[in-house]
Amino acid sequence: MSDALARLRRLGEPFMQELSRAHWMVGAGYAGDIDIRGIHARHAAALSDDSLAAAREAYRDAAPGSEEHRSARSLLDWQLEAQASRITAELEERELAWESSAVIALPDGRRIPYQRAAIEIANATERADRLALDHARGALVARELAPIRRERFERERDAVAAIDIAPSYIDAIEQVGALPLRALAAQCETFLRDTADMSRDLLAHAVKRELGITPEEAQRSDTLVLARGAEFDAAFPSADLEPAVRRQLTEMGLDPEAGGRIVHDTAEREGKRSRAFCAPVRIPDEVYLVLRPHGGATDWQTLLHEAGHALHFANMSPELPFEHRWLGDNSVTEGYAMLFDHRLQDAGWLRRYSGLRGAELGRFLRGAGFGELRFIRRYCAKLLFELDLHGGEVPPAEIPSRYAERLSEATGFRYSPDDAYADVDPRFYVGRYLQAWQLQAVLAAELTERFDEDWWRNPRAGPWLRDSLFCVGQRETAGELATRVASRELSFAPLITAIERLVES
């Protein structure tokens, strides 16, 4: 078995490096398209039937609970994803090319690049303008992008089913991907029920105060304006964005650039994705943090989030095997990212690094509490919808309307069926985000217990994170990590407590 694992590691790393580099080039605006099929052809051995068979055999033969079983599970999960990606490569290329070149034509003659739509909507001063832009965006997505994504998801499910590793696509993600989808969905349903009254009350207050509308009028595009929080821009100047984050990381004993292994790319660039990302091209030696500025607190939160990813990737031990650096439960790296981005919900952090003070700070924190609740409820609804999408019980013709119903009911904002397929990340990544929310609450509590409430400026906290957590990569699942570090289980309970505290600020 060790020979099979060694072969998969030897083949897997160069494949993942080239693929990650290509995605970085496109996402950062340095390339207009990506040759995924060419990459697959150059690394055919990594995606061969022999590689898949070796991963299946290693997983089947390893003793449950052993290190070989842990490694084999991650490698088999990677093979499932890679095999599906090989089959859907042409569609993924078309999708990325479309996103880079698509233009939204507005009735008044303006033409907005699709990649800038979210930025333009969030910064629109007139509600009629953002509604018109979002309507045009949705119509374009439904007409051109949705068919590509729908076919991609169908082919991916068929590819996983053909491998016959589990009774269903959902079972394969649960068993091999180590993501407890059904149990997490039950937690989501409870969270939605338990926070329904609070969500309704906060929504009514927020849309009236911030937007001058009633809850019945609220639409998806309005959430982008609320999240943008333009009234607080003066407290989050663009010129202070990187210096403030670098200062905080340095104060807690972390090198923001990890000895030169992390490259920060925060400049405006034509063709750059509006959605920030972290690209680990060679782990841990070459990591890119990419952000296209939106303005204000949104950029600060996003930079902190991506910094959490980058610090994790760049501080992994180079001695770790391929699977523990590149693969595993991405709830872990998302948890580290959220641990840092949640500093924008910390009054002490905001007083030290931003310009917020007094009553303005209180208003910001209350808005952050509503935003946190809104986002978690949205992601809970997304998970439930994606179980509908991939479960086979909802007729395909009803999927778009089911999406709109799920998201609208959970958030209180009206969502369009147009976005049903565009608002889905492959392989239930929404579940990784939900577990990450839970994990960051566990980690923040543990850091507070070890290093006090201002752990984010304690010079001993950063080295502990680096040497006890970041260095082990993703060898553990999020649940295992929470148990090892804090003897706690993942749940939404501490998130509800934190939200209640914020909205009472």
* DSSP codes of every residue in 324-335: HHHSS-THHHHH
Contacts of 174 (CB under 8 A, 6+ apart): 166, 180, 181, 182
Domain assignment of residue 320, yes or no: yes
Beta bridge partners of residue 282, listed in sequence order: 286
Instruction: Compute the mean pLDDT over every residue in the chain, rounded to the nearest whole number.
Output: 96
Residues forming a β-bridge with 286: 282
Contact status, residue 234 vs residue 355, Cβ threshold 8 Å: yes
Q: 69 and 210 share a domain?
A: no
Q: Does the pLDDT value for residue 90 go beyond 80?
A: yes
Q: Are 129 and 137 in contact, with CB atoms under 8 Å apart?
A: no
Last residue of a domain, one of 67, 88, 109: 88
Which CATH number do you get for residue 283?
Answer: 1.10.1370.30
Predicted confidence (pLDDT) at residue 349 exceeds the cutoff of 70: yes
In a domain, 450, yes or no: yes
Domain range for 34 is 1-88
Q: Are residues 330 and 465 in the same domain?
A: yes
In a domain, 100, yes or no: no
| pLDDT band at 92; cut points 50, 70, 90 | very high
Residue 131 falls inside a structural domain: no
Long-range CB contacts (within 8 A, 24+) of 187-194: 187/491, 187/492, 188/380, 188/381, 188/383, 188/384, 188/434, 189/380, 189/384, 190/492, 191/376, 191/377, 191/380, 191/492, 191/496, 192/377, 192/380, 192/381, 192/410, 194/496
Number of domains in the chain: 2
The three-state secondary structure class of 389 is helix
For 376-404, what is the mean pLDDT? 97
Predicted confidence (pLDDT) at residue 1 exceeds the cutoff of 90: no
User: 150-200 pLDDT, tens per residue?
Assistant: 999 999 999 998 898 999 999 999 999 999 999 999 999 999 999 999 999
Percentage of the residues of the chain whose pLDDT score is greater than 90: 94
pTM for this entry: 0.95
Predicted pLDDT of residue 446? 98
**Same domain, yes or no: 55 and 198:** no
Residue pLDDT, tens place only, 352-368: 999 999 999 999 999 99
Lowest mean pLDDT among 92-106, 307-321, 324-338: 92-106
Nearest 5°: phi and psi at 109? 100, -10
CA dist., res. 245 & res. 86, Å (int): 39
Rounded distance between C-alpha atoms, residue 48 and residue 90, angstroms: 18
Q: Residues 191, 72: one domain?
A: no
The Cα 434–Cα 401 span in angstroms is: 23
- Which contacts (CB < 8 Å, 24+ apart) does range 73-76 have? 73/176, 73/178, 74/323, 74/324, 74/327, 74/328, 74/474, 75/5, 75/8, 75/9, 75/12, 75/323, 75/327, 76/165, 76/176
Does residue 227 carry a pLDDT above 60? Answer: yes
Whole-angstrom distance, CA of residue 89 vs CA of residue 86 = 5
Q: Same domain, yes or no, for 48 and 195? A: no
pLDDT at 476: 97
What is the per-residue pLDDT for 294?
87
Task: Report how far residue 485's alpha carbon sits from residue 467's, in angstroms, rounded to the nearest whole number.
Answer: 13
With 90 as the cut, is the pLDDT of residue 58 above it? yes
171 is a domain residue: no
Task: Say if 155 falls within a structural domain.
Answer: no
Q: Does 205 share its domain with 339?
A: yes
CA distance 14 to 469: 25
Is the domain of 237 the same as that of 376?
yes
- What does the DSSP 8-state code read for residue 286? E
> Cis bond leading into 395, ω under 30°?
no
Nearby residues of 255 by Cβ (< 8 Å), 6 or more positions away: 249
Do 424 and 295 share a structural domain? yes
- Asked if 109 and 47 count as a contact pair (C-beta separation under 8 A), the reply is no
Nearest one of 169, 130, 498 to 344, comparing CA atoms: 498
d(CA 80, CA 74) in angstroms, rounded, equals 10
Rg (CA), the chain: 22
* pLDDT over threshold 80, residue 76: yes
